[in-house]
Structure 1
């Protein structure tokens, strides 16, 4: 009886050896790949979480510097935010904030660079559109209306179309294209809700061009 079981065990061992000889190498590499993927996933999660924490801390510091109108501190923190967490949402919002501080300080080159950062990297269409609108304003103030108009050619989310139209009106008026400017301002005025305070500014721009939008018939859909 013992020899019978020994024979069965020997057959099983022989089968196992044959199976391992055929598939052992593939199984080993599969296990290595699975473990490597698991380790990479954990590493990626750790890196993502670490970046998020760093970005949040830096953005908070950037906000403090902006409230204090500390331009050099804003520049330093913004540089750190780009270096350490450039792919985060906080970096996009930080760029817009830094650009405003730089523009207020009449440091247009730094403002341009920060806004271009958003345009090039933003995953959110609305953020990229806001950056283009602000950059167009900087170009217009710098006496570059053609460059500003080009920036305004890009499509924007529906909620921002009245604001783009208003900025286009400013640019077109600077270029002496008054009829087109009127139409742009009309589009902006009609697109803004009546409770939006800025609508009154757009109306004033139209009045200065001889248009009373409230007296005009509503555009047919």
Structure 2
């Protein structure tokens, strides 16, 4: 009986050896890939969290410089943020904060450069959309109307559609093209929640250029809410 079991055990051992000889390399490689991928995923998450934590410290510095109204300090902190953590949400927020301080200080060229960076290289669609809106405002101040309109072209997140249409209409009015501005104001009005008081502002703008809200647009918007 013992010999019988010994033979069976030897046969099983031989089968296992044959199996590993045939498939062992492939199985080992697969295990290495899976384990390596898991380690890489954890490592990437750790790196992202570490980047975000360090970037938050610099964002605090940007905010403190903004409160102190210190343009040089805010520029230095933002440049540091942009060079070290450009792909973080904090870098985008720092750009918006820095640009606002520059605009308030009438440093339009500085604000323009900062917003151009975010609009082009930002990693988050919402921040990029805000940057484009504010960049258009800077260009309007500089009377660079064609360049402002370029910033307002193309696709944007749905929640920004009304703001983009409204800003585009403002630029067109400044260019003297009120005829083209009217449908943009109408589009903005239709996209805004009827409970939002800013709709009255758009209605005032339309009245100022000799137009009014299309009844069909208003009814359509109201029924959609």
Are 2:221 and 1:219 equivalent residues in the alignment? no
Partner of 2:146: 146
Q: Distance in 1 between matches of 2:8 and 2:195?
A: 90
Are 2:50 and 1:50 equivalent residues in the alignment? yes
Deviation, 1:195, is: 6.2
Conserved? CA contact 2:88–2:123, under 8 Å: no
1:27-64 deviation per Cα after TM superposition (whole angstroms, max 9, x unaligned): 22122112211211121111111112112222222111
After TM superposition, list the pairs within 5 Å mapping 1:31-110 onto structure 2.
Answer: 31-110=31-110
Q: Distance in 2 between matches of 1:217 and 1:104?
A: 33
Conserved? CA contact 1:192–1:199, under 8 Å: no
Q: Distance in 2 between matches of 1:19 and 1:188?
A: 69
Q: Distance in 2 between matches of 1:95 and 1:38?
A: 34
Specify the SS of the correspondent of 1:62: helix
5+ residue gaps, structure 1, are none
1:145-196 deviation per Cα after TM superposition (whole angstroms, max 9, x unaligned): 1111222223444554443344334322332224444665566567586764
5+ residue gaps, structure 2, are 218-225
Deviation, 1:106, is: 3.3
Query: What is the root-mean-square deviation in Å for CA atoms of aligned residues?
Result: 3.0
Q: Distance in 2 between matches of 1:202 and 1:130?
A: 23
Q: Distance in 2 between matches of 1:13 and 1:84?
A: 57
Partner of 1:5: 5
Q: Distance in 2 between matches of 1:117 and 1:28?
A: 47
TM (norm. structure 2) is 0.78
1:61-112 deviation per Cα after TM superposition (whole angstroms, max 9, x unaligned): 2111111111122112212222332222222222111111222333333322
